[in-house]
């Protein structure tokens, strides 16, 4: 079994100012998306300029941060809002919802497309291959933060956690236990599937001309499917638990519409065209 390295969530402390790894991972994700977007814009057939990419990433950053935080607090932490509305601002403590961030990005895409006179899915298809880099970085941030662990496992890549930092994983262990039973590092599963694998698939798929909506559809289908599967080994939020059948989670409920929407977009993109 592996042992969690117990990384300090604070990367740099300068007096009262603390820079968290979680925030740095988001910064790295946005930087990668910006760099890759500029590379895509240089393709002769892209129809994009590097200045448009700069503008799009700015819109996207706002959509991710505002939508991700609002989505998390509404879907998973509404009780925290009731306790103190200021909890909405504590992004450095973790707590960002991909599904909320997606809604924020969809709004940002609509605003950007309107400003530049583009079709919504022209923008969506361009942006979709860039998103998994942010997902990869964000899930690594979750791992460093020590959140979103999975169920216990006896598989050799299970991770044992220090009980002092993660008492919840050691509740049924003797009080002098130092390490928890091994659990799934579900954050790293998501980093690999929603991040690395989805990026490679979308980057290769979008390297050739595709009908409008196809790239966006593949992104939604891929993310929704991967997230739905990983939820089977990821512990549900303690204050929510399972919603039904002792296995259905909030993450799966929110991912199912993405799977259906992605399949629909792909079907529409590749539907037979009638000829006159």
The answer to whether 129 and 202 have CB atoms below 8 angstroms apart is: yes
Length of the chain: 276
Report whether 139 belongs to an annotated binding site. yes
Residue 24: partners with Cβ closer than 8 Å, 6 or more residues away: 11, 141
- Output the CA torsion 28→32→33→39 (10° steps): 160
Class of residue 245 by CB neighbours under 10 A (exposed 0-12, middle 13-18, buried 19+): exposed
Tell me which residue of 97, 77, 72, 94 sits closest to 10, measured CA to CA.
94
Cα first-last separation, the chain: 64
Compute the distance between CA of residue 166 and CA of residue 75 in angstroms, rounded to an integer.
24
Compute the distance between CA of residue 202 and CA of residue 130 in angstroms, rounded to an integer.
9
Residue 68: partners with Cβ closer than 8 Å, 6 or more residues away: 96, 97, 98, 100, 101, 104
Neighbours of 181 (CB within 10 A): 16
Q: Give the containing element (helix H, strand E) for 3.
A: strand 2-3
* Residue ranges of the binding site: 139
């Amino acid at each position: 079994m592996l042992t969690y390295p117990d990384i300090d969530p604070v990367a740099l402390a300068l007096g009262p100012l603390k820079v968290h790894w979680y925030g740095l991972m988001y910064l790295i994700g946005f930087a990668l998306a910006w760099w890759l977007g500029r590379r895509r814009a240089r393709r002769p057939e892209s129809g994009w300029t590097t200045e448009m990419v700069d503008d799009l990433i700015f819109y996207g950053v706002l959509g991710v941060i505002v939508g991700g935080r609002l989505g998390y607090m509404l879907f998973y932490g509404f009780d925290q809002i009731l306790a103190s509305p200021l909890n909405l601002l504590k992004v450095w403590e973790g707590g960002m919802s991909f599904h909320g961030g997606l809604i924020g990005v969809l709004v940002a895409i609509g605003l950007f497309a309107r400003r530049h006179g583009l079709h919504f899915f022209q923008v969506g298809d361009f942006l979709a291959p860039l998103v998994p880099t942010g997902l990869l970085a964000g899930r690594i941030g979750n791992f460093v933060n020590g959140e979103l662990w999975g169920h216990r496992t006896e598989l050799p890549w299970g991770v044992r956690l220090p009980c002092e930092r993660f008492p919840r994983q050691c509740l049924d262990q003797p009080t002098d236990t130092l390490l928890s039973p091994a659990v799934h590092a579900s954050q790293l599963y998501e980093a690999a599937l929603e991040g690395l694998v989805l990026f490679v698939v979308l980057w290769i798929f979008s390297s050739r001309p595709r009908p409008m909506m196809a790239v966006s559809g593949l992104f939604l289908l891929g993310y929704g499917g991967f997230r739905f599967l990983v939820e089977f080994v990821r512990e549900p939020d303690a204050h929510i638990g399972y919603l039904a059948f002792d296995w259905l989670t909030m993450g799966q409920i929110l991912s199912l519409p993405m799977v259906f929407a992605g399949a629909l977009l792909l079907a529409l993109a590749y539907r037979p065209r009638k000829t006159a």
